[in-house]
Amino acid sequence: MTVPRVLLVRPSGRPAGEESLPLVALPTDRGVASVPTHTTDLLQSVSGVLAAATDRPAIERGICETLVETGGYAAAWVGRFDDGTLRLSTAERVSTETVSSEALPTAVTAAAEAGSLQQCVAADREGTVAPAAVGADRLVVVPLRYGDRRYGLCGVYGDSTIGGEEGLLAAVGTTVAAGLHAAETARILTTDHVTELQITVSDPETRLARLAAAAGGRVERCGTTAAGADDCELYLATAADTDPETVGELPLVESTRVVAATDRRLTLSVTVSTVHPDDELAAFGATVTAASATPEAAEFTVEVPPEQDVRCLLEALRTRYDTVDLRRRTERDRRDRHHTEFAAAVDERLTDRQGAALRAARLNGYFEWPRPVDGSEIAATMDITRQTFHQHLRAAERKLVAAYAEGR
C-alpha cells in the first residue's frame, strides 16, 4: 500500500513555542508548500458543512460559500465533468452553466482525466471558468475522489499565493469527497427510484467465471453472507453432476460444502476471500441484485441511484477486467425496498448458525409439502446433529416471526 506523504504545519503567525493551535496534517505530493493562516479554520468549517448538510446540493453550496468566506478565496465552484463538458451545479461568482471542453482551461480537463490536482494562471485561456473571468490570478482544480469513486471537481480562485496551497486544497477535496460519499450512501438506503443496469464482464478471471469453470458450466449466485472479516460465503446453484471437490481445489476457495441437492440442481456453499466486482461496485453505491456466470463471462444486475455517473462505474471495472459491456439500462421504482429493510432487520437478529440453518432449510425445500428431505439430511450438510439443526431453525423462525409482527 502506498502511504501518502504528509506535511505537518502550524498556522503562521503563532510562535513555535506556543502549543494552543494543533498541528494539521496535509497530504502533499509536491514537497513543502507555504500554508495560509486560515488552515485550521477552513478545515473545521468544511467539516461543519458536511456535518450539517444532508444532500449533495447543500454540501456543494456550503463548500463554495466556506471557501470564499472562511478561506478568503476569490471564488469557487463544484461541478461534474462528463462527456467532454463541465456542468457547474454550484458556484460563487461564477456563471452556473454547462461549458464544453473546448472552452475550458486545460487544468480542468487534466484534473478530470488524471484525477490529480491541477493549476492554471489568468493568461492560460479566456472563458467562463478561467481565472480572468472572476478577476483572479490563478485557478486550482481539485478532484473530488473517494477511493475509485469520482464525485466531480472543485475549482478555487485566488491570487498568486494560492499556488502554494495545494496541500490544504487537496485535504479539503478529500474531506468533501468523503462527505459526498456518506450523503449518497445514506440516500441510497431510502430512495424509492433506482436505475437498473445489466452488466456483462467478459473475463474468465472474474471470481464467478472461475467458479463456473471449476463447476463445469453455468453457476447462479443465490445468496451471499459475510464469513469473517475478509471472507464471504457464496451460495451457488449449479448442475447436479458438479463435483464439489473440484470447486474446492480453486486457490480462491477457502472451503466448500453441499447445501442442497436434487436430481437437476446442486447448491453449494463456497467461502472465498478474493476481490470481486461486487466489492468494486459497492464503492459506487451500487447494489448487485443478481449474478451468474459461465466459464467465459459473468453477468450482474445492479441497482444504482438515478443520477449515478454510470460511465465512471464502468471505467472502474474496465481497469480490472478485459471486456465490460452495459447490456441494458432501465429506470424504475424500487419495489423491493421494504422487503430489503425487513431482511436486514432479520439478519441483525440471527446468529451465523441460525441464518445458515434457515437458508439450508429453504434451499433444500424443507418448508415445502411433502418435504423432499428431513432434518437429518440437512444437518449432515452443515456437519451438525439433527437436534442441533432443529434448535437453530426454531430459534431463527421465532426471530423471523417476531420481526414480521413488529414491522406490521
**Phi (first) and psi of residue 393, to 5 degrees:** -65, -45
User: How crowded is residue 333: how many other Cβ atoms within 10 Å of its Cβ?
Assistant: 10
Which pLDDT does position 5 carry in this prediction?
Answer: 35
Q: Which of 171, 173, 165, 8 is nearest to 74 (CA)?
A: 165
> What is the SS3 assignment for 25?
strand
Is cis: bond before 370, omega within 30 of 0? Answer: yes
For the segment 117-154, what is each residue's pLDDT rounded down to a tens digit?
A: 999 887 666 677 888 888 899 999 999 987 767 888 99
Contacts for 237-241: CB closer than 8 Å, 24+ residues apart: 237/265, 237/266, 237/267, 238/212, 238/265, 238/266, 238/267, 238/268, 239/215, 239/264, 239/265, 239/266, 240/264, 240/265, 240/266, 241/216, 241/266
Cβ–Cβ contacts within 10 Å for residue 103, how many? 15
d(Cα 314, Cα 150) in Å, to the nearest integer? 12
What are the structural domains of the chain?
6-188 (3.30.450.40), 336-408 (1.10.10)
Given a contact cutoff of 8 angstroms between Cβ atoms, the answer to whether 101 and 85 are in contact is: yes
Which pLDDT tens digits describe the chain residue by residue (408 residues)?
Answer: 333 333 333 333 333 333 333 333 333 333 333 334 457 788 888 888 888 887 788 888 999 999 998 888 999 999 887 766 788 878 887 776 777 777 788 888 888 888 889 998 876 666 778 888 888 999 999 999 877 678 889 999 998 888 888 888 988 998 898 888 777 766 665 566 778 889 999 999 888 999 999 999 999 887 777 666 567 778 888 888 888 899 888 988 888 888 877 778 888 888 887 556 666 676 666 778 888 999 999 999 888 877 677 887 888 788 888 899 999 888 876 555 444 555 666 677 788 788 888 888 877 777 877 777 788 888 887 788 888 888 888 888 888 887 766 655
- The answer to whether the CB of 194 falls within 8 A of the CB of 305 is yes
Q: Rounded to whole angstroms, how far apart are CA atoms 116 and 278? A: 26
Backbone angles phi, psi at 223, to 5 degrees: 170, 155
